[in-house]
Structure 1
Amino acid sequence: MYQKYYRQFLQGAAESAASGAKAPLHMACHSHHYWPDITLEAVQQYWQDSARLADSKWGPIFEQKIPAWQAAVARVLNLPAPDRIALAPNTHELVFRLISAFDLSRPLRILTTDGEFYSFTRQLQRLEEEANVEVTRIHKEPYDTLAERFEQELHHGHYELAYASQVFFDSGIAFPDLAGIAGRKPERTEFVIDGYHGYFARPTDLGEIADKVFYTAGSYKYQGAGEGLCFMSIPAGCTLRPLYTGWFADMAELENRADQVGFADNWLRFAGSTMDYSTLYKAVAILELFEREGITVEKIHEYVRGRQQQFLATMDSAGHPLLNRQNLIYHDLERGHGHFFTFDCTTAQRARQLQEELLTRGVLCDRRQQLLRLGFAIYQDENETFQRVFS
C-alpha cells in the first residue's frame, strides 16, 4: 500500500536477495527510517539551488522553505503559530538554549524522569555539578502510577523546568496523560515535551497546550527525512532570553546593529547559526507528498498498529525463549505505545547474540544494553507475518 514511495530502498533489498543474501526486513525504523524516493530529487534540488544562487540561496530558504516546513509541522501537531517553531540541527541544541535562558546564578530546580534520552541525561548530570542546580527524577516504573506521581511532584516541588518524553526511547511506552499534565502545570514552570518518538508516529494534538509547552522533535526518525533538522515549538508570550544564542537570532536587525542584545517574538528567539539545509528540502518534499496523497499521521499509526498486532500474533504462537510477552516491556499496547517494541533480554550479551542471530535471517534491529528494540513502519509489507524473526 505505502511501499511504492520507498522503491529505491526496497529495490535494493530485492537485488540483495537476488544475489543470494536474504532480503532485509528493516526493523530499526525507530532509529532510522527509510527515506521516501522523493528525497533524492529534493537533495539534488538543494544542490542545484546552492550552485546556481550561491549566497542568494538564503532568500528562498528563509522566505519559502522554512515557512513551508513550519506550516506543515504546525498542521501535523495542530499548532496555531507556525512562525513560533524554531529549528536547529538537533534537539539538544534547542533544549540547552532554553536552559541557558534561566539565571544560573540562582537556584535552578528541574523535574524529569529516569527514562530520558542520553543527551539530556548527560547534560543534567553535568549541570548537577553546579551547586545551585537540583534535579529530581521520577521513576518511570510502574507506568500505572507515573502520571499521578509526576504531576504530584510537579505541583509540590516549585520547579523552574519540567522535562518528559512523550514516548520513552528505551521501551516505546507513551507517557500517560502527559498533555493533560502539561496543561495543568504551575504558571512558574516551563514545560518541555520531548516528542522525538511521538512526532509523525502517534497522532498528536497540541492545540490546547500550545501556549504552555515547548515541544521538541525532529525529522531523523519517523518523518524519514534524515538527520540534521529538528524543531522546538515556542509558547506565545515567551520572553526568555537565551544566553546561548547565535547570529541568526539577530537576523532582522543586521542592518541596524544595536549595542543591546534583542530577541524577536518568533522562532528566531531560539535560533542559532548557519546549518546545512539539505534535510529541510527533504522534509518539505516528504510533507508535501504525504499531503497530496492523503497520508496522515493517523493513517500511518493505524497501519503500524496493524503490523504490531500481526507481530504479536506470530510471537504468541512461536514460543521464542526471549521474544515473548514475559520479556516485552509494555503498559498499554492498544492506546499507550509508540512504533517499536522493546524486549528485556536480561543481559547485554544475550541481547547482542539475539541481534546477531536476527541479522543472519535478514532482520535489522538495534539494542540498548540488555534491551532489544524492534520497530515498525509503513514500508513494511502488509502481508509480512514476521515469521523469520522467530524462526
Structure 2
Amino acid sequence: MYQKYYSEFLKAPSGAPSAMLHMACHSHHYWPDVTLDAVQQYWRDSAALADDKWGPIFEGKIPAWQNAVARTLNLPDPDRIAIAPNTHELVYRLLSAFDPARPLRILTTDGEFYSFARQLQRLEEEPNVEVTRIAKEPYASLAERFEQELQRGDFQLAYASMVFFDSGVVFPQLLDIAARKPKQTEFVIDGYHGFFARPIDLGAVADEVFFTAGSYKYLGAGEGLCFMSIPANCTLRPRNTGWFAELEELENRADRVGFADNWLRFAGATMDYSPLYKGLAVFELFEREGITVESIHNHVLAAQRRFLHTMDAADHPLLNRERLIHFDLEQGHGHFFTFDCGTASAAEQLQRELRSRGVLSDRRQQLLRLGFALYHSADESYQRVFD
C-alpha cells in the first residue's frame, strides 16, 4: 500500500532487471515522489525571491523542520535543534569547544561510523587527546561495560551510536546510561541509523545529551540536511563557528564573538536548502497520510519476520542465522540485517549474485547488508534473495 508514494524510485534502473527489489535501503533510502516537486519549489522560490528567500527559510522552513524533528523525538525545545549539511560538521563544531590547551578524554565504542572514527584517529595524534574505545561485542554486556568506564573515568566527552551502522544492532540501554552520566561529561548519541526507523523518545534525556541524525537514511529526503539537538543551558563556545551563529545580531555586530542560547550556537554558514524543502515535504506527506514512525517500524518488523522465515527454510551457505550479526532481533535491531560472509571477495560475489536476481544490496568489506523499507510490499516473501 505504501509503494504508491515511491513510484519514481521504484522504476527499474537502466540496464537492471525489471521489478528490482531494493534492499540497499540502509545505504540509500528511496525518496517519496513529493520530493521532486519540493526541489522544484526551492528553485522557484529562489528565482522569485533571490536574496529575499532567506526570510521565509529562517522564519518559516527551519522552524517547521525543527518542530517536526522535535515531535518525532519528543524534544521539548525545537529551537535547540541545530542544522548543518552533515553530522560531522556538527560534531566537529562540538569538539572544537573544548580547550586545546587542556587534556581531552573521550569515551566511545569500536563500532562508530567512519566519519567520527576517522576524526578521532586524527585527534589522537595530538598529545592532549586520549580516546577509550569499548568493544561493542559481546552486545549482552556492552551496556554494563560502557557505563562502568563512563562512571569510573574523567571523560569530557562520551559518544555512542544508538544503532550500530555495521550490524544494525541497537546499543542496549543507551538512553538509561545517558541519563546517569556524570555531570562534567558531555554525552553525544549518534542516532542516524535509528531516526525515523525505530520509535525514539528523548524526553527523559533531552536536557542532558546531544543527539545527531539526518534526512539521508530513513526519512528518505536525501543527503545534505542533518541536525543536532542541544542540551539545556549549554554554554559551550565552539572555535569552529560560522557567520550564521550571529544572525540574530548581524545588523548590530559587536566587537566580540557572542553565542545565542539556541541552535545558532552551533550554526555554521551558507548551505543548500533544497534538502530542507524535501524533508518538510516528506514530513507533511506522512502526517497527511497518517504514517508514523511506529507504523513504519511495524511494517519493517513484519518484513523482517517474513525474511527470516524464508531464510530459515532456504539453508543458504552465507545468508543464515549463524552468519547474521544480531543481539535481539525483535527489540534490539535496526532496519537492516548484516551477514558476515567471512571475506570481502565472498561478500562481493554474493552481492553480484543478488543483483543478477534483481536484488540490490549494500556491502562493507566482508559484511553484506540487506535493508527493509516502507516501500517493500506487505506480501514480499524475499524468496528471490535465496533462489
Q: How does 1:204-215 map to 2 (within 5 A)?
A: 204-215=200-211
Unmatched segments (≥5 aa) in structure 2: none
Which residue among 323, 326, 330 is the counterpart of 1:330? Answer: 326
Partner of 1:2: 2
Deviant stretches of 4+, over 6 Å: none
Paired AA for residue 90 in structure 1: N
Question: Number of aligned pairs?
Answer: 387
In structure 2, relative to structure 1, the CA distance for the partners of 1:187 and 1:350 (3 Å cut) is: same
Superposed, 1:6-25 pairs within 5 Å as 6-10=6-10, 12-13=11-12, 21-25=17-21
Structure 2 match to 1:98: 94
Which whole-Å CA distance do the structure 1 matches of 2:52 and 2:176 have between them? Answer: 45
Q: CA deviation at 1:21?
A: 2.7
SS in 2 for 1:209: coil
TM-align CA RMSD: 1.0
Q: For residues 31 and 194 of structure 1, what CA distance do their matches in structure 2 show?
A: 16
For the residues of structure 2 that align with 1:116 and 1:147, how far apart are their CA atoms?
15
* Corresponding residue number in structure 2 for 1:66: 62
Conservation of the 8 A alpha-carbon contact between 1:198 and 1:338: yes
| Aligned match for 1:117, one of 98, 103, 113 | 113
AA aligned opposite 2:6: Y
TM-score (norm 1): 0.98
* Structure 2 Cα separation of the partners of residues 76 and 292 of structure 1: 15
Q: Deviations over 1:267-305 (max 9, x none)?
A: 000000000000000000110111111110000000000
Q: After the TM superposition, which residues 253-272 of structure 1 pair with which residues of structure 2 at under 5 Å, given as runs?
A: 253-272=249-268
Matches within 5 A, 1:151-300: 151-300=147-296
SS at match of 2:82: strand
State how far apart, in whole Å, the 2-side matches of 1:20 and 1:78 are: 42
Q: Normalising by structure 2, what TM-score?
A: 0.99
Equivalent residue for 2:37, pick from 41, 47, 53: 41
Cα distance per residue 1:204-236 (max 9 Å; x no partner): 000010011000000001000000000000011
Shift of 1:4: 1.3
Q: Decide whether the 8 Å contact of 1:66 with 1:280 is kept in 2.
A: yes
Question: Is the contact between residue 22 and residue 361 of structure 1 (CA under 8 Å) also seen in structure 2?
Answer: no
Match of 1:355 among 345, 348, 351: 351
Alpha-carbon deviation of 1:20?
Answer: 8.5
Deviation sequence 1:337-360 (CA, Å, 0-9, x none): 000000000000000000011111
Q: How many Å separate the matches in 1 of 2:80 and 2:27? A: 27
Q: For each residue in 1:62-93, what CA deviation from the matched residue of structure 2 results, as whole angstroms up to 9, or x when unmatched?
A: 01100001000000000000010000000000
User: 1:321, 1:305 → 2: CA distance?
Assistant: 24
Instruction: Check whether the contact 1:327–1:345 (CA below 8 A) recurs between aligned residues.
Output: yes
Query: 1:382: which partner in 2?
Result: 378
Give CA deviations for 1:164-214 in whole Å, capped at 9, x if unaligned: 000000000000000000000000000000000000001000001001100
The letter for the 2-side match of 1:176 is P
1:318 to 284, 291, 314: 314
Letter in 2 for 1:316: D
Partner of 2:341: 345
Helix, strand or coil: the match of 1:33? coil
Shift of residue 22, structure 1, vs aligned partner: 3.2
1:121 is paired with a residue of what secondary structure? helix
- Structure 1 CA distance, aligned partners of 2:114 and 2:63? 31
Q: Is the 8 A contact 2:26 2:362 kept in 1?
A: no
1:328 counterpart SS class: coil
| SS state at 2:304 partner | helix
Q: Can you list the C-alpha shifts for 1:288-326, whole angstroms capped at 9, x where unaligned?
A: 111111110000000000000000000000010000000
- State the Cα deviation string for residues 89-145 of structure 1 (Å, max 9, x = none): 000000000000000110000000000000000000000000000000000000000
* C-alpha distance in 2 between matches for 1:293 and 1:236: 34
Letter in 2 for 1:4: K
Amino acid corresponding to residue 8 of structure 1 in structure 2: E
Listed as ranges, the matches of 1:25-36 within 5 Å are 25-36=21-32
CA distance in 2, matches of 1:102, 1:9: 43
3-state SS, counterpart of residue 7 of structure 2: helix
In structure 1, what is the Cα distance between the partners aligned to 2:57 and 2:43?
A: 13
Q: Which amino acid aligns with 1:78?
A: N
Distance 2:98 2:4 in 1: 48
Q: Secondary structure in 2 aligned to 1:377? A: coil
CA contact (8 A) 1:216 1:232 kept: yes
The aligned residue for residue 140 of structure 1 is 136
The alignment status of 1:307 with 2:306, answered yes or no, reads: no
Code of the aligned partner of 1:177: Q
Q: Once the 2 structures are TM-superposed, how far is the Cα of residue 376 of structure 1 from its aligned partner? A: 0.3
Q: Secondary structure of 1:330's match?
A: coil
